[in-house]
């Protein structure tokens, strides 16, 4: 996974509340057992006039210049609620989104972001409002700069907003670590725990006694 430190990018305002993962990628756009090839389906229902022809809807923000090149999404609260499908994050990431700014997120979506190198920034609705005015004004020039090391988003020359993120999530994003490998190194502690756990809860093993 790519490591995440600091970058500047075009930000697209998509200010709607409760954008669910079905909207981020409709289920029927998930066509293969793969984490790739999903960006075509991103926001498909809004992005295209017809899903069959995939003719772009010119009114949808991500189809407009320069938002077509956006790497930051500024959006409404409860973003990514709904289905647990990680495809939503894979699609956003493949399309080029590296950070999202919203007042709140669906909880499974949030951890899916961290696991895939997308930074989900939590910010107050009022900050988001003024931020979106600014980015709409002159999107090409008015880029946002995200600095994960310092927990800051800056826009225009004067305004710097800070955000809070869990230390572990931050480290994970910065170092682009593989969690499975890290946890596998704790295998002996896990095994020890497991042995005791199954001994103190013998009923827990019951089902697999009969089926092994």
Partner 1 sequence: MGSTLFEKIWDQHSICDLGDGNELIYIDRIFLHERTGSIALKSLEERKVSIRNPNQVFATIDHIVDTFPGRGDKTLVPSGSDFIQSLRASVKGSKIHFFDIDDPNQGIVHVVSPEQGIALPGITYICPDSHTCSLGALGTLAWGVGSTECEHALATNTLIKKKPKLMKITLDGILPLGVTSKDIILHLISQHGADGAKGHAIEFMGSVIEDLEIESRLTLCNMAVEFGATTGIIAPDNKTISYLEGKAFSPDENDFNKARDYWSELKTDQDAIFDKTINIDCSNITPYVTWGTNPQQAIPISHSIPFVDQIKNENEKEAMIRALEYMGLEQGQSINDQKIDAAFIGSCTNSRISDLRSAAKILKDKKVANNITAICVPGSSQVKKQAEEEGLDKIFKSAGFEWRESGCSMCFFAGGESFGQNQRVISTTNRNFENRQGKSTRTHLASPMTVAASAIAGKISDAKSIGIEQ
Question: Binding to partner 1 by residue 93, rule CB under 8 A?
Answer: no
Of 3-11, 31-39, 59-67, 148-156: span binding partner 1 (CB under 8 A): 31-39
Pairing of strands 119-122, 144-147: unpaired
Q: State residue 120 phi and psi, 5-degree precision.
A: -90, 105
DSSP 8-class letter at 95: H
Q: How many CB atoms lie within 10 A of CB 152?
A: 15
What is the DSSP code string of 116-141? TT-EEEE--HHHHHHHHHHHHHSTTT
| Binding track over 68-87 against partner 1, x by CB under 8 A | --------xxx--xxxxxx-
**In the complex, minimum distance from the CB of residue 84 to partner 1, in angstroms, rounded to a whole number:** 4
Q: Is 93:114 a contact under the CB 8 Å cutoff?
A: no
Q: According to CB under 8 A, which one of 49, 176, 183, 195 is a site residue for partner 1?
A: 183
**In the complex, minimum distance from the CB of residue 141 to partner 1, in angstroms, rounded to a whole number:** 26
Tokens matching residue 91: 């699609």
Residues that bind partner 1 (CB under 8 A): 15-18, 20, 22-23, 26-28, 30-35, 45, 51, 76-78, 81-86, 89, 104, 106-109, 111-112, 115-116, 125, 166-168, 179-180, 183-184, 186-187, 189-190, 193-194, 197, 201-212
């Amino acid at each position: 996974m790519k490591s995440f430190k600091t970058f500047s990018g075009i930000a697209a305002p998509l200010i709607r509340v409760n954008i669910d993962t079905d909207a981020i990628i409709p289920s029927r756009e998930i066509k293969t057992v793969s984490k790739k090839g999903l960006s075509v389906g991103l926001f498909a229902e809004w992005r295209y006039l017809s899903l069959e022809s995939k003719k772009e809807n010119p009114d949808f923000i991500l189809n407009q210049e320069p938002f077509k090149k956006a790497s930051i999404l500024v959006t409404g609260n409860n973003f990514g609620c709904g289905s647990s499908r990680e495809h939503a994050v894979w699609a956003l990431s493949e399309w080029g989104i590296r950070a999202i700014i919203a007042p709140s997120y669906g909880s499974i979506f949030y951890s899916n972001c961290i696991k895939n190198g997308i930074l989900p920034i939590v910010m107050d609705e009022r900050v988001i409002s003024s931020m979106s005015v600014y980015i709409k004004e002159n999107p090409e020039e008015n880029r946002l700069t995200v600095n994960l090391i310092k927990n800051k988003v800056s826009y225009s020359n004067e305004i710097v907003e800070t955000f809070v993120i869990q230390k572990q999530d931050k480290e994970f994003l910065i170092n682009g670590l593989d969690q499975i490998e890290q946890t596998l190194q704790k295998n002996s502690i896990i095994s020890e725990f497991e042995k005791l756990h199954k001994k103190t809860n013998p009923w827990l093993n019951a089902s697999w006694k009969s089926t092994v």
